[in-house]
Structure 1
Amino acid sequence: MLACRVRGSSTTRPRDLPYGKHGPELVWHKRRWWCDESGCPRRSFTEQVPQIPARCRLTERLRQAAGRAVRDAGVTVVQAAREWKASWPVVMEAFGTAATAVTEAPLPDIEVLGIDETRRGRARWEKDPQTGKSSAAADRWHTGFVDAAGCGGLLGQTEGRAAGDVPAWLADTPLTWRQGVRFVAIDMSPSYRAAIRTGLPHATVVVDHFHVVQLANKMLSLVRRRLTRTHRGRRGRAKDPEWKARRKLLRNREERRS
């Protein structure tokens, strides 16, 4: 905009990042200008800087700090809004901007891909007004993809845990990235194994350590209960030797005493 005539002045007090006990108080006396462009519908405008755009009551670095707090520090939007003294919509918008920088970043090169399911709330159903039948609008199960042997963290997440959900996510990744995956760690799920055979046929499928130990502990408990019933003719009791040692058998190696 072209302007050379001052219309007036206004005073704003934008909030900035806290510093010290009370924090700084910004007072900006900015000028309001007439717009000399004939096609301008606004006719006038106030001064602005990149950190404080027009009609903003917060500095950009405060917005960015609130968004990064939700993205990186694991706090909720309500907690960040209370800490930075901002409204919930402002912090949520800042979090969306901060999260976009991560979701749109290219995937890091990995060799071991981890796939597992995560329960997220409840399933939502929608009823068709014409047929009267209900169909799932949101699945309560999500499938997460992580860097199982590096520091890449969470690589992506897709809704559902069916065999077709994993290849659909892999299809959106670059071919060179898929070719670099050598191993895929999953739980003992036939659907995940079938999906990996389709999406990553060259990768070696392995079962992750947690589910192997979990299955071994379940089998150990089953054998202990069955043998106790066979030899004693009753359920196990706390005074029985096999039940006294059940905690030691299920304890981690680092938790055992020499």
Structure 2
Amino acid sequence: MDNNTTTLLDLDGLAVERVERLTDGTRRVHLITADETARACPSCGTFASRVKGLVRTRPRDLSYGERGLELAWLKRRWYCHEPDCARKSFTEQVPQIPAGARITARLRRAAALRVRDAGSTVVQAARDLHVS
């Protein structure tokens, strides 16, 4: 998917709904799902058609610019209507932020490289990458 969010943040499948500046100068980026394949059940692949609810997640990412950047993703929880599927509901996911992830895939890779290559502890890698 090619949209401005992908170009700016490299978060394919998501779109920026709005950006707000917090009192401490941090920018909060409100994201929504832009990829229709995110509504496919991860267990059976059936495309859902009925929304169960909304979930707001705040995945952490690498720093962007001099001030902090906070992501807020409003994603949908879908019902899976496939009778043979054990999964009854699921939330949207994209490759950079899989379901249940609290950090983006690129932040996970960057932290792992610091631990592996620089001999950092996990805590020190988090500090170096400005992850709280």
1:67 aligns with 2:112: yes
Q: Runs of 4 or more off by more than 4 Å in structure 1?
A: none
Which of the numbers 20, 23, 29 marks the counterpart of 2:65?
Answer: 20
Letter in 2 for 1:61: R
Q: TM-score, normalised by structure 2?
A: 0.58
Quote how far apart the aligned CAs of 1:81 are. Answer: 3.0
Instruction: Percent identity, please.
Output: 63
Is the contact between residue 52 and residue 59 of structure 1 (CA under 8 Å) also seen in structure 2? yes
SS in 1 for 2:108: helix
Is the contact between residue 11 and residue 27 of structure 1 (CA under 8 Å) also seen in structure 2? yes
SS in 1 for 2:71: coil
Which residue number corresponds to residue 4 of structure 2? none
* Whole-angstrom distance in 2 between the partners of 1:67 and 1:74: 10
1:45 aligns with 2:90: yes
* Whole-angstrom distance in 2 between the partners of 1:35 and 1:77: 37
Pairing 1:1-258 to 2, within 5 Å after superposition: 1=41, 2=46, 3-84=48-129, 85=131
Structure 1 portions without partners, runs of 5+: 87-258
What are the Cα deviations for residues 109-145 of structure 1, in whole angstroms up to 9, with x where unaligned? Answer: xxxxxxxxxxxxxxxxxxxxxxxxxxxxxxxxxxxxx
Is the contact between residue 33 and residue 45 of structure 1 (CA under 8 Å) also seen in structure 2? yes
What are the Cα deviations for residues 146-169 of structure 1, in whole angstroms up to 9, with x where unaligned? Answer: xxxxxxxxxxxxxxxxxxxxxxxx
Task: Select the structure that is richer in helix.
Answer: 1
How many residue pairs get matched?
86
Letter in 1 for 2:87: R
Task: Select the structure that is richer in strand.
Answer: 2
* Whole-angstrom distance in 2 between the partners of 1:32 and 1:77: 32
SS in 1 for 2:128: helix
Is the contact between residue 17 and residue 23 of structure 1 (CA under 8 Å) also seen in structure 2? no
* Whole-angstrom distance in 1 between the partners of 2:121 and 2:74: 35
Letter in 2 for 1:77: V
* Whole-angstrom distance in 1 between the partners of 2:102 and 2:119: 25
